Amino acid sequence: MAPTSYPLSRVSARTVSRESSLVLLPQLAQAHGTPAGPQLPAEPGAEATTKQSGRSAPAQSIAASSAETLTTTTEESTSPTCVPIAEQDCVRHICLEGQLIRVNQSQHCPQGATRPRCGVLGLAVRVGGDRCCPLWECACRCSIFPDLSFVTFDGSHAALFKEAIYILTQSPKEMVTVHVLDCKSANLGHLNWPPFCLVMLNVTHLTHQVTIDRFSRKVTVDSQPVWPPVSRHGFRIEDTGHMYVIRTPSHIQIQWLHSSGLMVLEASKASEAQGRGLCGICDGDAANDLTLEDGSVVGEAEDPAPFLDSWQVPSSLTSVGQTRFRPDSCATADCSPCLRMVSNRTFSACHRFVPPESFCELWIRDTKYVQQPCVALTVYVAMCHKFHVCIEWRRSDYCPFLCSSDSIYQACVAACEPPETCQDGLLGPLDPEQCQVLGEGCVCSEGTLLHRRHSALCIPEEKCACTDSTGVPRALGETWNSSLSGCCQHQCQAPNTIVPVDLGCPGPRPETCPRFGEVALLLPTEDPCCLGTVCVCNQTLCEGLAPTCRPGHRLLTRFQEDSCCPSYSCECDPDLCEAELVPSCRQDQILIVGRLGDSCCPSYFCACGDCPDSIPECQEGEALTVDRNTTELCCPLYQCVCESFRCPHVQCGMGTALVEVWSPDRCCPYKSCECDCDTIPVPRCHLWEKSQLDEEFLHSVENVCGCAKYECVKAPVCLSRELGVMLPGQTVVELSADGVCHTSRCTDMLDPLTSFYQINTTSVLCDVHCEVNQEYEHPRDLAACCGSCRNVSCLFTFPNGTTSLFLPGASWITDCARHHCSSTPLGAVLVRSPISCPPLNETECAKVGGSVVPSLEGCCRTCKEDGRSCKKVTIRMTIRKNECRSNTPVNLVSCDGRCPSASIYNYNINTYARFCKCCREVGLQRRSVQLFCATNATWVPYTVQEPTDCACQWS
């Protein structure tokens, strides 16, 4: 990129005689000076003005004569040739009279090269100009944070809390939607963002559609799976390994981070009037960001729920979470927890970009931020990432960010820079001017790298040699099964070289089968992938016919070891008999099957069988019963039924507990009384009572276990309806509205009527009057009655008798003394200190033409000059050098003013001797001035000299 050149003006120089107040030596300055940095060009056409004072020579005549002399000298000399040097970024060199002048183009940008501040939208983007003089603009940037809070194109803030599909932005040709799903139901708990998160992105342009599933890492274009990078139908989809970058045909760029889920949309200014949705309208007006689909607008302080529902895709709502809107602000609610959290030194690097005060205004309006500090801090750090501010704040025990076993957490990930993968060198990084994203996430552990950019698999570097047909990485020399049977194997022999593996099976061995009807077949051996030879019978080769069997018989085939062909016989087969009606036997009968005579088919009979064991003996608590439904059966059913009311009862006394031991073989449990003092209830006493041991029960016959029993008795306390319960010696102080202090003290004297201690009450009137500069201060001791007066300002009486109040920090002068109202821990205190005057030399004051005047309100005296003594003055003039000149008059320092002179008679020479001093320079300094050369339209620096100080000196 060629550097931009700027016009230069002609240079003019002026020389002044030594009697004048300005001395310029341009030739000397150019020979010994060093060029300085360029200055911004000024408006041309302005003429020089020269201030005349005292005995200085007229500036116009001096400038004309010196310019003529300088021009003549330059035409007679010959400029040497400059040695060219290599150009640098935004810096070019110009040869002027044998000198290389360095020009930095970035310092001469007409629109200024400073990047503007865009608030929570992040850093501005370059929309024009070049690298040396960029043109900045706040981008149409919409950010959706991992917790589903988002910042619109113009900086408004809201948060989603429903599981549905939402429209981020839409225009007549294009629509961008996101699918919010339940993270827990999708098995995404490691993201630490319950309950909802962004899962799907859908971009539709005309008839073409792009769908991205972030968690399964699947990208489809018109329902066809693709692997990034891909360019199709005006879409450009890339995967850096840390995030997706999607560019749509309508010039919308979407950046979506894999680990955290942060999504950033940047729209083109050309389409800002067409796009509407959750991201708002990019027109620089935040008031209309929350515009509903029907055109109505939700106010900034109102609940954004109608705005969120307006851009929800119909029939896509699945579930609803807790609303996050709070109608508060830091002016009406307490934001101190947020300020303490964000103002921590850990986040100080971001405070100048995202001030804690502005973020806490968002925090107080979001319920999730207030309830979950980790969510609030994550969103604050994500805002800081938009300004490329890296903050490491998470710990394993504080807001951890969980990663998979083969990856580790990294606080700051340059998402546009691709991580190390097996395909390094095939795909380069993205354009740094179009992609500058910083975020947190998971990266591969040390010693591993990504298999592919579009995959979340971290593998050792040796696994990069090959990739099998299913996408699994393989190391050099690794062998694997490539079929379900395991008999097809492949091996990675060289990088990206996969060859089949020979199993080494022996060839088939032909054998002669010894028996007739046998044939040789190839069958699997001990190794399932290798085949062997075996002899098997072929029934089609056997001779003979099978016999025909009579009804009720079946043909039975038998084989012998010494014969391949079978032998046949007919045998009885009941399955071939005609179906006979099977009688239905009772429950207590059994079905008997038999054959009559030599028949092959069976017959069925019902008969009673043997009864089971005798009638059972019932235990204690059981009753013998007969099943009424079995009285007509061969064997009725007897059973013992447990009836608990038949079991004996046992009554235990106080301090004992009934213990029952159940047995599965018994109806009634074993009961016994065992000592258990915990069964005796413990009384709950009132505040004016105390618990006391019941001595009568302790020594009673009833207390067989020696248990302790307690009862409530009155405690030695004071009892009052207004003050409650007080201990002896306790004091309560109360101050009434009329200024009377009441002191109540619990004594150790019993009241015979109530059996409680008596309360003595005394009253004191707090009659405290404070001065006008004091305020009443309540006592810090709760047991004290009245407070005291404390100075809050200083009361001062002036000499004329008037009094005034001064706040702490005020200072004033009276009677040549300085007074200061100081703030101390005990209150405001008036401090007085005398004024010290600076030394004054009246003789020197008269020499410089000054006069003695009072100062500091008449307490001191000082010298006031009349302004006509020799000193530095500023003169404006246009400087010219050959064909170069300054665009505007330049302010140059010169010397001007009166100096002493005298004429004294000298009798030795019989005449008057004249003495005079001249106002002239004391030391010189170099100064660089920018000149514009019209011949080559170039700015060059030019060095002149000007006085550092002026004084009266002998000429």
Higher-confidence residue: 22 or 393? 393
> What is the 3 state secondary structure string of 677-706?
HHHCCCCCCCCCEEEEECHHHHCCCCCCCC
Categorize the per-residue pLDDT at 66 as very low, low, confident or very high, splitting at 50, 70 and 90. Answer: very low
Parallel/antiparallel/unpaired status of strands 794-797 and 788-791 = unpaired
Between CA 458 and CA 465, with CA 459 as vertex, the angle to 5 degrees is: 135
Q: Report the pLDDT averaged over residues 733-754.
A: 84
The reported pLDDT for the residue numbered 847 is 67
Q: What is the pLDDT of residues 684-706, one digit of tens each?
A: 888 778 888 888 888 887 787 87
Residues recorded for the chain: 955
The average pLDDT across 735-739 equals 77
Task: State the pLDDT confidence band at 606, using cuts at 50, 70 and 90.
Answer: confident
Residue 36 pLDDT more than 60?
no
Q: What is the pLDDT of residues 165-223, one digit of tens each?
A: 999 999 889 999 999 988 765 554 444 555 788 889 999 999 999 999 988 889 999 99
Count of CB atoms within 10 A of residue 1's CB? 8
**Does position 79 have pLDDT exceeding 90, yes or no?**
no
- pLDDT attached to residue 80: 58
Residues 752-805 pLDDT 10s: 888 888 889 888 888 778 888 888 887 877 677 888 888 989 988 888 889 988
Name the more confident of 757 and 656.
Answer: 757
The answer, yes or no, to whether residue 509 has pLDDT greater than 80, is no
| Out of 31-40, 505-514, 818-827, 902-911, least confident range | 31-40
Sign of torsion, CA 94 100 101 106?
positive
State the pLDDT at residue 434: 65
Phi-psi region of 642 (alpha: psi -120 to 50; beta: other; left: phi over 0): beta
CA 235 – CA 68 distance, rounded (Å): 69
Per-residue pLDDT band at 61 (split at 50, 70, 90): very low
pLDDT digits over 359-416, tens only?
999 999 999 999 999 999 999 999 999 899 999 999 988 998 888 888 889 999 888 8
Give 541's DSSP letter: G
378: part of which helix (H) or strand (E)?
A: helix 373-385
Q: What is the mean pLDDT of residues 803-816?
A: 88
Is 539 in contact with 564 (CB distance < 8 Å)? no
- Distance in angstroms (rounded) separating the CA atoms of residues 851 and 525: 128
Greatest Cα pair distance in the chain: 192
- The mean pLDDT of the chain is 79
Q: Which stretch of 41-45, 131-135, 223-227 has the lowest confidence by average pLDDT?
A: 41-45
Q: Of 189, 244, 187, 146, which Cα lies nearest the Cα of 403?
A: 189
The stretch 149-178 carries a mean pLDDT of 92
Query: pLDDT at residue 486 above 50?
Result: yes
Distance CA 140, CA 153 (A): 5
Cβ–Cβ < 8 Å for 213, 256: no
The predicted pLDDT at position 782 comes to 67
Distance CA 131, CA 389 (A): 23
Structure token digits, residue 695: 């001595």
85 burial level (CB within 10 Å; 0-12, 13-18, 19+) = exposed
Which of 14, 7, 8 minimizes the C-alpha distance to 892?
Answer: 14
Average the pLDDT over 250-268 and give the result. 89
Kindly report which listed range (96-105, 522-531, 775-784) carries the lowest average pLDDT score. Answer: 522-531
517 vs 263, which has greater pLDDT?
263
The DSSP code for 847 is H
**Per-residue pLDDT, 355:** 94
Distances (CA, A) of 286 to 7, 121, 155, 280, 721: 42, 12, 6, 9, 61
What are the structure tokens assigned to 953, written together? 């000196």
The pLDDT value given to residue 406: 84
The residues that bridge with 916 in the sheet, in sequence order, are 901
SS3 content of the chain, % helix, strand, coil (to 5): 10, 40, 50
Distance CA 408, CA 410 (A): 7
User: Is the predicted pLDDT of residue 25 greater than 50, yes or no?
Assistant: no
The per-residue pLDDT for 40 is 31
CB 554 within 8 A of CB 574: no
The pLDDT assigned to 430 comes to: 67
Helix (H) / strand (E) containing 623: strand 622-626
> 291, 277 in Cβ contact below 8 A?
no
Q: Report the C-alpha gap between 147 and 144 in whole angstroms.
A: 8
Q: pLDDT at residue 271 above 80?
A: no
How many other CB atoms are there within 10 angstroms of residue 532's CB atom? Answer: 16
Neighbours of 212 (CB within 10 A): 22
- Tokens 């330059």 label which residue? 74
